[in-house]
Amino acid sequence: MENFDLLNSFIFPYVNLAIFLVLAVYILKKPIQNALRGKRDSYLVMLERANHAKEEAERKHREIEARFKALDSEMNRIRAEVKESADLEAQAILTSAQQLAEHLKHEAKRIAVAEITAAKEAVRADILQQVKQKTAEELARTLDDSRQHKIVQQSLNTLPNIKELKL
């Protein structure tokens, strides 16, 4: 240990290292702080944006939940309106169908009465024609001309009473 110099071998290197570290900290402190401050500021901006986005998302979520809750009541209201409208339309259709049925029934009766009347008239005309023909044949066979003329005249005078007969 004779050659061991405490000052040169042990203290100077550590003092030299300490001076280097103090100078490095002194010289590099501001640039490192500026770099870290920039990172810190960018992180704060990103944090602020994230908080703003979170608040916006929460606001939209509350808005959507309110709309969703209102949607149920809106759907129920629309269902009730549609049901009421369908009921009114069904009632109108039923009323219209009943009126049409009554109209068709009335028209069928009217047509039937007209057909019956036409058939009665045709039967009356046919009967009248047959009576005239038979009477003329019978009279021609049994009576002379003057007597035939008198009977035909009397028969023709009574013919308007045939229309009053009901079949």
In this prediction, residue 105 carries a pLDDT of: 92
* DSSP state letters, 46-72: HHHHHHHHHHHHHHHHHHHHHHHHHHH
Specify whether the CB–CB gap between 119 and 158 falls below 8 A. Answer: no
Domain boundaries, the chain: 6-164
In this prediction, residue 79 carries a pLDDT of: 92
Total-model pTM: 0.38
Residue 82's contacts (CB-CB under 8 Å, 6 or more residues apart) are none
In this prediction, residue 148 carries a pLDDT of: 66
In this prediction, residue 161 carries a pLDDT of: 60
In this prediction, residue 167 carries a pLDDT of: 47
φ/ψ of 160, rounded to 5, equals -60, -20
**Which residues of the chain have a pLDDT value below 50?**
1, 167
- pLDDT tens by residue, 20-47: 999 988 898 888 888 888 888 888 999 9
In this prediction, residue 73 carries a pLDDT of: 83
